[in-house]
Every structure is written in structure tokens, then in C-alpha cells.
């Protein structure tokens, strides 16, 4: 068995969620998305969820220790015992180092793949993105439209534009997050655990490239 934890990295708008979902389906890996975890824990009213919500409601970043605790609890579940794709984590060098420490003696390999997309394409993707406030699915008005305009394919909720996807906030958001991303990318690059995949082109084209790169690090199709 290949006990692989694959960290999927990319800037906002790089397509991590879309591609992680497809790769998980093809490989049988557990898709662990930070955003989904936060929503689930908050909805369940768990201690971690209540703590996270207090920071989110105050407009603050959730502290690393809270995020790390949430991820550790999720990775301890049976479906994540063998293969995992992490989507949205780690976001900081401290989180990446904590992940390494947690699994240093476990025999599980941690590999990273970076979906690389140029800034202009990121802006176009972000401003065209629509999300489901109910189940968290993501769409794009041009690249991945829903079957019924403005409605989620999965739960039929009305899609929304996230406030941080509004044109006036996208540039500042990218500036802030690209700096943090580079520190995480550097950590995996310096330790010889980083692969780079072009995130440009169509969804199917990117999926094929990512599948090839994932196979190379041990996350093979099933």
C-alpha cells in the first residue's frame, strides 16, 4: 500500500478544489479540504468549530494550532489511513512544518504538487467564480458553469459570488496569499518534495497532467 499524503498547492483560483476532487475519485484517496472541514465542524457545533467560528466572525485568520488540530483529527479517520489529498492545507510554513512533525515517524510520505497559473489567468478565474453557500461546490461562469444558470448542480441552492472574489478585492487578496504560498512552496522545493504542474488550459487537460504527476509520486489510479 502506498501511504501517501499529497499536498496540492496553488494560488486562489488555481483550480485546486476542482482538480483535487477529480484526482481523489480516480485514485481512491480521501479528499481533505480545509474549507469543507471548517464548515462541517462549525455546523456540528464542535469545540474546534466554535473556536474557528469566533475568529472567522471577527474577520481574523484562524490560528495555525486550530487548523492543525482539525486536520489531525480528520487524518486520523479510517478513510484517510492510506491515501490523502490535502486541499487548502498547509497555507503557512508553520503548518507545513507541523504536518512534517506529525508524520515523521509514521512511514507516510508527504509530497507536494503545485498548480502553477499566471496572475492574469488567476484574476479572470476568481472574478468569474461562483460558489454554493450550502454545500461549498465551486463553479465558473465560463470554464465550469452549472447545468442550470445560477443554481448548484448538487443541491439546487442559489450560487453566490464570494466577497473576496469581487474585482476590487482580488488583487489585494492575491498579493497577500501569494507571499504565504511561496514560503510553503520553498519548503517543499528545498526538501526535494515538490512537483510543478501547469494549471493553464482546459479542466480535462489539467486533470491529465496532474494525474501523471501524482502517479510519479505514488498516488496511482485505481
Residue 222: active-site member: no
Q: Is the peptide bond before 125 cis (omega within 30 degrees of 0)?
A: no
Residue 129: active-site member: yes
In a domain, 70, yes or no: yes
Crossing angle (nearest 10°) for helices 93-103 and 64-75? 40
Q: Which of 182, 163, 183 is nearest to 173 (CA)?
A: 163
Q: Per the structure, how many domains does the chain have? A: 1
CATH number at residue 159: 3.40.50.300
Residue 91: active-site member: yes
Spell out the residues 6+ positions from residue 15 whose beta carbon is closer than 8 angstroms to its own.
115, 117, 125, 199, 203, 206
Residue 173: active-site member: yes
Q: pLDDT digit string (tens) for 157-212?
A: 999 998 878 887 888 878 878 888 999 999 999 999 999 999 998 889 999 999 99
In a domain, 222, yes or no: no
Tell me the three state secondary structure of residue 93. Answer: helix
pTM for the full predicted model: 0.83
Question: Which domain does 124 fall in, by range?
Answer: 4-216
Q: pLDDT digit string (tens) for 25-83?
A: 999 999 999 888 988 999 999 998 999 889 888 877 788 888 988 898 899 999 998 89
In a domain, 37, yes or no: yes
In a domain, 221, yes or no: no
Amino acid at each position: 500500500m502506498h501511504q501517501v499524503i499529497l499536498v496540492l498547492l496553488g494560488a486562489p483560483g488555481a483550480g485546486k478544489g476542482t482538480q483535487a476532487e477529480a484526482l481523489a475519485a480516480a485514485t481512491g484517496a480521501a479528499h481533505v479540504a480545509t474549507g469543507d472541514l471548517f464548515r462541517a465542524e462549525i455546523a456540528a457545533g464542535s469545540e474546534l468549530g466554535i473556536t474557528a467560528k469566533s475568529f472567522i466572525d471577527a474577520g481574523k485568520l484562524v490560528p495555525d494550532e486550530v487548523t492543525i488540530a482539525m486536520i489531525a483529527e480528520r487524518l486520523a479517520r479510517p478513510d484517510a489511513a492510506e491515501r490523502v489529498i490535502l486541499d487548502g492545507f498547509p497555507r503557512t510554513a508553520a503548518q507545513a512544518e507541523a504536518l512534517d512533525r506529525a508524520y515523521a515517524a509514521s512511514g507516510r510520505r508527504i509530497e507536494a504538487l503545485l498548480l502553477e497559473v499566471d496572475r492574469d489567468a488567476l484574476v479572470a478565474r476568481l472574478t468569474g467564480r461562483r460558489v454554493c453557500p450550502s454545500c461549498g461546490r465551486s463553479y465558473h461562469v465560463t470554464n465550469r458553469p452549472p447545468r442550470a444558470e445560477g443554481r448548484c448542480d448538487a443541491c439546487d441552492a442559489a450560487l453566490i459570488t464570494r466577497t473576496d472574489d469581487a474585482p476590487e478585492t482580488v488583487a489585494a487578496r492575491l498579493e497577500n496569499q501569494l507571499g504565504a504560498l511561496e514560503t510553503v512552496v520553498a519548503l517543499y522545493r528545498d526538501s526535494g518534495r515538490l512537483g510543478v504542474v501547469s494549471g493553464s488550459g482546459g479542466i480535462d487537460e489539467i486533470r491529465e497532467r496532474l494525474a501523471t504527476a501524482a502517479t510519479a509520486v505514488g498516488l496511482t489510479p485505481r
